[in-house]
Structure 1
């Protein structure tokens, strides 16, 4: 039975002896430490008898040492060996002076921050290579044994991560096409070449804006979702439980998201192309009084399908990059909510940066190929 901490004081031959009883623990201490400190504040020659203490932890040891102060010598304490050892450990911890934290400033802080950034960049690159290795191994297993492919989550993710994004993709590219048409009409009218607004709309929408807007929207919508979903499972140790049960998380979590974006992004790019052309056609019809029939015929005659296929060729690469970045950031989440927030933000930022970089690389390649 737990007894609360208590004490009695006896004076003999000018020396004060404090006899402690009960449980000197964080739970049983109550106000005994404060009362002992007040009772011993005016005492000089001091001894302590701790043989009657049932249990003692660091909280109780700290209260005893604080009450005894400098007047309590280790040789004047009677206690069991384990209690004496605990008092020595707590006394040593009390006597340690905290080291002041020196924060570098000025140029030194700048160099340190640059160094940490470079180290973090190489560390992220190394982690990316590890992730790609796991992903390729899981993909090879699924190719060798198609029965390992999880079609149910792939279909569900195709609807949730891909098809549900169709309205926002269509609306955004519609207004992008309208803005391009309005700018082109205003600028080309000054040169009497307003009819070339059709070519401007067709090339810009089919070659760049359809895939670029779709990929950026998926980066903000799907990459963040993938990182949050997998990161939450990582925080709740569900991924560890999957590994214990022999389930590869890359096959169960990463590959379905990877496949879902690969399957749905061509459809989204096609919808974005139609919506962008519709927005441009509507503005050209309203501002320049060029009929939809003339608009479509000029698209067919002077723009052609080449630019559409150039934009469509970027779709699988963009889908792979968005899914990989979102899933990798989710796999890197720690055990706290702050880590989850940082990784979700990093997934969106990295995905958008990668999309713009890849689009620039594609533009240079097609420019060298004169396409």
Structure 2
């Protein structure tokens, strides 16, 4: 692989561009930026491709952006296949839509707040809808107890209650272990590590008794 290079020769106020090496994705490096800077404000009179190696769409894009698409088909007579790639990329670049302008930080901040308020309103509406349907279902069940599917109700109670006891017990065990480790480490600094047992008992029964009672 030969590194892509170029040479600009001034002739009668116009520039003659000479391309050498492989103008491919892996051989370009920082050359597109340098080429755009050197060709800024210059008119390209001709292009020399006699020493041009491989040429792909990345090289064509670099030339299109540096020359603003001003290279004609006649300037590629020595390498017509490279000229076809160049003009194909030039056509796509000309027809492609420009990148959307990024809004300012002020606008983005208020847009984020607006989306948050909108999402909060949507979640509140869904919650009220669920609550309304639940209340309607409860009233209907009270009016017509015979319509309640008791086997399904017992099955759901079993799955949410009895079947959940093992995972709740395992979760409480590991949470208790974490509380014990943090509590003993903290109480040791004050010489009160003997109260670690009471700390674990109070924490577990006060914070997790609700979860255990709901399962049972």
| TM-score, normalisation: structure 1 | 0.28
| TM-score, normalisation: structure 2 | 0.46
Which structure exhibits the higher relative contact order, with contacts defined as CA atoms closer than 8 Å and separated by 6 or more residues?
A: 1
More helix by share: 1
